[in-house]
Chain A
Amino acid sequence: MARVKNAGIRISGIACAVPNDHIDIHELGSPYFADDFIEKIHKNVGAKNYYFTSDEQCSGDIGIAAAEELLSSAGVDRGSIDGLIFNSQTPDYVVPPTSCRVQEALCLPRGCFTMDSNYGCAGYVQCVMIAFQLIQTGLSGKVLVINAECHHKITSRTDPDTALIFADGASATLIEKDDGAGEAFYQTLVDGKYVENLVLGNFKKPSNPAISDFEHSFMDGETLSKFMFKEIPPFVKELLEFGGIGAERIDTFLFHQANAYMIRFLARRMKLPLEKVPTNIGSFGNTSSPSIPLLICEKTPELFGAGSKGGKALLLSYGAGYNIAGAVLDIGGLAGGRIVKV
Chain B
Amino acid sequence: MEEKLIDLVAEVLETEHANLSLDTEFKTDEFDWDSLKGYAILVTLEEEFGVSIEVEDFIATKKVGDLLRLVSG
Q: Which A residues have a C-beta under 8 Å from some C-beta of B?
A: 36, 40, 43-44, 221-222, 225-226, 229-230, 259, 261-262, 264-265, 268-269
Contact = CB atoms under 8 A, between A and B. Distances in A.
A99 to B, nearest CB: 35
Given A265-B12, A268-B11, A221 B44 contact: no
Interface of B is mostly: helix
B35 A265 contact: no
Given A40-B32, A225-B36, 13 more contacts: A44-B32, A44-B37, A222-B35, A222-B36, A225-B39, A225-B40, A226-B39, A229-B40, A230-B43, A259-B36, A261-B37, A265-B40, A268-B11
28 contacts: A36-B29, A40-B29, A40-B32, A44-B34, A44-B36, A44-B37, A221-B35, A221-B36, A222-B35, A222-B39, A225-B35, A225-B36, A225-B39, A225-B40, A226-B39, A226-B42, A226-B43, A229-B39, A229-B40, A230-B43, A230-B47, A261-B14, A261-B36, A264-B14, A265-B12, A265-B40, A268-B11, A269-B44
| Most A Cβ at <10 Å: residue of B12, B29, B36 | B36
Contacts, number: 37
Nearest to B48: A269
Nearest to B36: A225
Contacts of B34: 40, 44
Interface of B: 11-12, 14, 29, 32, 34-40, 42-44, 47
B18 to A, nearest CB: 18
A262 B39 CA distance: 10
A261 B12 CA distance: 9
Contacts of B44: 269
Nearest to A259: B36
Contacts of A269: 44
Closest 8 CB pairs of A and B: A229-B43, A226-B39, A225-B39, A265-B40, A225-B36, A222-B35, A43-B32, A230-B43
A259 B36 CA distance: 10
A261 B37 CA distance: 9
A182 B43 CA distance: 37
A81 B29 CA distance: 53
A311 B32 CA distance: 36
Contacts of A229: 39-40, 43
A262 B35 CA distance: 12
Contacts of A259: 36
A77 B20 CA distance: 61
Contacts of A44: 32, 34, 36-37
A261 B38 CA distance: 12
Contacts of A268: 11
A221 B36 CA distance: 8
A281 to B, nearest CB: 13
A229 B45 CA distance: 12
A40 B29 CA distance: 9
A54 B37 CA distance: 35
